[in-house]
Structure 1
């Protein structure tokens, strides 16, 4: 009797799934589709994250190199690990629209600015896994050189020449 009840229950569940299948998403019926769908969704969400092969790079002194760069996203900031025959470097990156900005160095700091028509600078900065915004005034139209007074998004002022 117990086995018959199990078989009948299984048959009813199968029949219900079959009847409801046009209503249910395919991921419920096909775990592989769910995994594939999740990967495709993540890929669409972030096309930069992952490992990229550098097939042909050239240093400022003309030497060629190959390697790979791995981007890992955390919020709006990426950590970057670059590997080549010359060694390994780590850095940070920021994606702004269709532009990628990457910074390497001891302190992993970077700032990206858009020069305004009045000579001021509006930008974002990244350091230590944090990101902020700032405005710099004091510049001259059509010229980047100058002394600027910076104001950060959450207050704080400083001058930079």
Structure 2
């Protein structure tokens, strides 16, 4: 029984969260300066725990790669020649709720992805 519990624990850390899915999401966000924005994001699997991520917000496109661990998705991306990073918690209803930073300024924004 102990072996089964240990194996289940190891596998739980290796598999992406069940509520997370590939496909299209609507994006609602707030920049570090408080301005709000809306857009779209596409999440495409590239491996068991890895993703290609493409945002379209305000006429701009950001592209990145993501990694899932348990119920967290972490994404590194490039937008307007600046590097950024974001971290999202996968919610039971399929939403992803997170925070992001971009460039060297250190400001932090927030974002919610809503499954379409």
Q: When the two structures are superposed, what TM-score results if normalisation uses the length of structure 1? A: 0.36
Q: When the two structures are superposed, what TM-score results if normalisation uses the length of structure 2? A: 0.48
Looking at secondary structure, tell me which structure has more helix per residue.
Answer: 1
Q: Which has the higher contact order (CA 8 A, sep 6+)?
A: 2
Larger radius of gyration: 1
